Structure 1
């Protein structure tokens, strides 16, 4: 594959007093390049194949900032492994401020890209920023009801005691009560299904370990969240990349919300939730996304 030589820089930016760790991928030979901000899914980090997408965009002449939310990975934050949608959206705002102020980037040509829970965040952020040039939502979390139903009653019931204990700990300022992020079908886990744990582990680089835990308090927030509703308020072109066999973020609500986006485009893939990060489905998705971003960022 031909394209620009890409240089990766380790950077950080401030988010409400904490640091977010990020990689900035710059295409050599491009002055004031357009840029896309990339955010990951539930309990993940930028290492879990977000960088693979960022590298491909940069090779096409679009700089890419792949960051890790506070409380996870090498980013700051005192409450480790605590997922807060509110905090994550603040991190996205901080990332946008960072790229808009960066001297090597064209702050007037900015896009956002999110996957899974990050896909829901990308929809929300895009709805709040009409100045964005484009947005991409990959296998996005759009409906808490659909995701909770997909988890199943057994896993949901097994999580309930930990959720209650963690909410009490939160109210009292105690340490978070952690539960597994991923597990097999009917497991006590935030994401449960055949092969889900192995899929999460496989996204980590060789020699690195997936930290399979997160605070249980996110469960009611997930159940009540419907970021897909914001699609109708996204003024920028937005591409929805939907996995047809997704059992983590079911496709039907996403397709329904996508139809309401004024400038929405949809691509579907014969894939499960994690297939789109690797192999044939990755190649198909990243090609579609690169074409979309190049077209709308005038790269």
Structure 2
């Protein structure tokens, strides 16, 4: 395989990405990939992309505006609307590539982007398939999973940041990963060891985002898109998920006319590494072989 650095523009801002191309004679279908809440592509997306590329698929792995290698000010500004715009721009860029089978674009998302790929596919209407891994599907379910005291503290940060936005001041930040009872968006016991361990040694990473995203998350329900998708969809649910509550995701998946639901007895962060990673990535390759075969 070959990996190269590429870039495309979204909303006038440069997004940077990795382009993986398999060693094959024929143009390969391309999988567009991005990470979850506040995460960057170096946090194990390369491991998934390498497996897909070994199986014969091209991959475009990008960072959102305001995060990682991509441009955008202020840094760490998480916006559902802008990130969905980045997905649309990444899909358009993938379709512009002559060296891949740009008629067959597949979307792959995990955690927060597992919800994004459902919404992005519904908006686009012409993707070949979707893989949503431990997806965020319901803002209501995620808010109810938070400890009440944590929800109150996080809401206070959000109000302060919205006021700062109106006053044109610097954003008020909130941590992404924290210990139980910390003021953070994710505070389950497995979050800090699971999320932060995905950051490679020496890789710059900022464990915070502008708190104004909190009401956007609460009102976002991308799982509803499953009922309307007509392309093949694979939803991989972690039954012990402490971050993206599985019960509501399973309900949404059961309403999807083209949805295959796979369930794993794992926590939210377990499937990025070890035996759980091996199992889930093998299932995803099998799904691709069936619904978007090579050649």
TM range (shorter): over 0.9
Give the CA deviation at 1:29: 2.0
1:199 & 1:93 partners in 2: Cα distance?
29
Give the CA deviation at 1:79: 1.9
> Equivalent residue for 2:137?
142
CA contact (8 A) 1:39 1:115 kept: yes
1:149 & 1:185 partners in 2: Cα distance?
15
> Equivalent residue for 2:121?
126
TM-score (normalizing by structure 2): 0.97
Aligned: 1:22 with 2:14? no
CA contact (8 A) 1:112 1:134 kept: yes
CA contact (8 A) 2:88 2:124 kept: no
Output one character per residue of 1:44-75: Cα deviation in whole Å (capped at 9) or x when no partner: 01111111111110110000111110000110
Output one character per residue of 1:129-166: Cα deviation in whole Å (capped at 9) or x when no partner: 33211000000000001101112212111222211110
Give the CA deviation at 1:24: 0.7
Aligned: 1:88 with 2:79? no
Give the CA deviation at 1:209: 4.2
Q: Give 2:200's match in structure 1, choosing from 194, 197, 205.
A: 205
CA contact (8 A) 1:139 1:240 kept: yes
1:40 & 1:92 partners in 2: Cα distance?
11
> Equivalent residue for 1:282?
277
> Equivalent residue for 2:191?
196
Instruction: Please give the secondary structure, in 2, of the residue aligned with 1:190.
Output: strand
> Equivalent residue for 1:218?
213
Instruction: Please give the secondary structure, in 1, of the residue aligned with 2:184.
Output: coil
Give the CA deviation at 1:210: 3.3
CA contact (8 A) 1:84 1:218 kept: yes
Instruction: Please give the secondary structure, in 2, of the residue aligned with 1:22.
Output: strand
Instruction: Please give the secondary structure, in 2, of the residue aligned with 1:290.
Output: helix
Aligned: 1:115 with 2:110? yes
Output one character per residue of 1:90-110: Cα deviation in whole Å (capped at 9) or x when no partner: 000110111101011111111
Output one character per residue of 1:217-269: Cα deviation in whole Å (capped at 9) or x when no partner: 11111111111011111110000000000010000010000011111001111
Instruction: Please give the secondary structure, in 2, of the residue aligned with 1:214.
Output: strand
Output one character per residue of 1:275-296: Cα deviation in whole Å (capped at 9) or x when no partner: 1111111111100111111222
CA contact (8 A) 2:233 2:259 kept: yes
> Equivalent residue for 1:235?
230
> Equivalent residue for 1:296?
291
Gaps of 5+ in 1: 1-5
CA contact (8 A) 1:8 1:26 kept: yes
> Equivalent residue for 1:73?
68
TM-score (normalizing by structure 1): 0.96
2:127 & 2:141 partners in 1: Cα distance?
28
Aligned: 1:170 with 2:165? yes
> Equivalent residue for 1:59?
54
CA RMSD of aligned residues (A): 1.0
CA contact (8 A) 1:201 1:210 kept: no
Give the CA deviation at 1:205: 1.7
1:48 & 1:255 partners in 2: Cα distance?
26
Gaps of 5+ in 2: none
> Equivalent residue for 1:44?
39
